[in-house]
Homo-oligomer: A and B are copies of this chain.
Amino acid sequence: MATMTDVAKAAGVSRATASYALRGDPRISPATANKVRRAAASLNYTTNLSARSLRSGRSGVIGVAIFELDKPYPSEMSAAISREAARHGLETIVQQTSNSKEREISILRKVTSQLCDGTIFSPGNVSPEEITALYGGKPMILLDDISDDPLFDCVFTPCEAGAEAAIRHLYEVGCRNIGVLGVDYRILLDDSQATSVSGRRLAGALKAFDDLNINVDERNFVHTLWDMEHARATMHRLVDSGRMFDGLFCLTDTVALGALRGLADRGVRVPDDMAVIGFDGINEGEYSIPSLTTIETDLDDLAKKAIELLSFRLDVANGDVPEGTDLSTRRLTADFRLIERESTRR
């Protein structure tokens, strides 16, 4: 592998000049710059990222750390962030935390805070306070931070407004006995859960019930883990117990797809017997039978906002920001839209 020294030698200039030239520093004359670029190209030169990063503290790489790579929503989100970062000239590396605190810590300490100029992190088991001890002072953007003390910039999914829209939609298509699947009603009693994704989606749903004068009690809220298998089994139990709703708001699309399958297993027709709406907008929902009405989180918007926040912090870290710029943490919320499909069409 050719080094900067090789390039400098081939171009007949000093290492410093070669370095400046390759990074487009205006101090280098166009003629020299060209000479250097040609030399670099002919030697198939690439800057050694470790060396650059060690010396300058910058690598041009950002990290994304999410729960699971093999679930539709987080993987679509990572892909969107990765695309948006590329538009800003940033390489993205993705890691899965596997929902384990140990893995989160390991990723934060070993990779993210070391190789990456900044990180977009979906915290699961690690508190912002703990992150502070691990992140090495590098820019960090949180996804759906649940702490109320904003230590880091954060992008939120549109939980409240989205959940509210979901319930309203079910109401508009005629549902009056609406169930909510995927949340334990008791989290309302736990303050620390109130700002979690479940908590905020539940809050949005409750607000809609209230506005629409629909009476609900804990029996309208059915707990299940957020995967297809549990959602399916939960619907089996629900139907077998004789409890029925005419509309069902599932806290995620994955839950909704599992529920659809569980209802089909028991001969409950969707949307005729029960209208079903999900949340997230994963690709699969468009092709399920019936296709899934959902609250789609605008992942391109979410990615844009996350990268915008991160870019700003990167600029701050590089000193590329005018004196007196407001540096206080910011919290943005991604857009959403209701996508009406067959599962609520009636």
A-side residues, CB < 8 A to B, are 1, 44, 46, 48-51, 53-54, 59-61, 63, 68-70, 72, 75-76, 78-80, 82-83, 86, 91-96, 98, 103, 106-107, 109-111, 113-115, 133, 136-137, 228-229, 232, 257-258, 260-261, 264, 283-284, 286-289, 291
20 pairs, A vs B, C-beta closer than 8 Å: A46-B110, A46-B136, A49-B50, A49-B114, A50-B59, A50-B114, A61-B111, A69-B69, A69-B78, A70-B76, A79-B96, A82-B95, A86-B103, A91-B107, A93-B111, A94-B95, A94-B96, A257-B284, A258-B287, A260-B289
Q: Give the most central of A61, A75, A261, A284: most B CB within 10 Å.
A: A75
15 further contact pairs, Cβ within 8 A, besides A50-B114, A60-B110:
A44-B133, A46-B110, A49-B114, A61-B111, A63-B93, A68-B79, A70-B75, A70-B80, A72-B72, A91-B110, A93-B111, A115-B115, A228-B283, A257-B284, A261-B291
Chain B residues with Cβ below 8 Å from A79 are 68-70, 96
Q: Is the CB of A49 within 8 A of B264?
A: no
A98 to chain B, nearest CB (A): 7
Q: Is the CB of B283 within 8 A of A264?
A: no
Q: How far is the CA of A243 from the CA of B197 in the complex (A)?
A: 48
Q: Is the CB of B69 within 8 A of A94?
A: yes
Chain B residues with Cβ below 8 Å from A91 are 95, 106-107, 110-111
Q: Is the CB of B50 within 8 A of A54?
A: yes
Q: How far is the CA of A110 from the CA of B79 in the complex (A)?
A: 19
A200 to chain B, nearest CB (A): 24
Q: Is the CB of B111 within 8 A of A49?
A: yes
A59 to chain B, nearest CB (A): 8
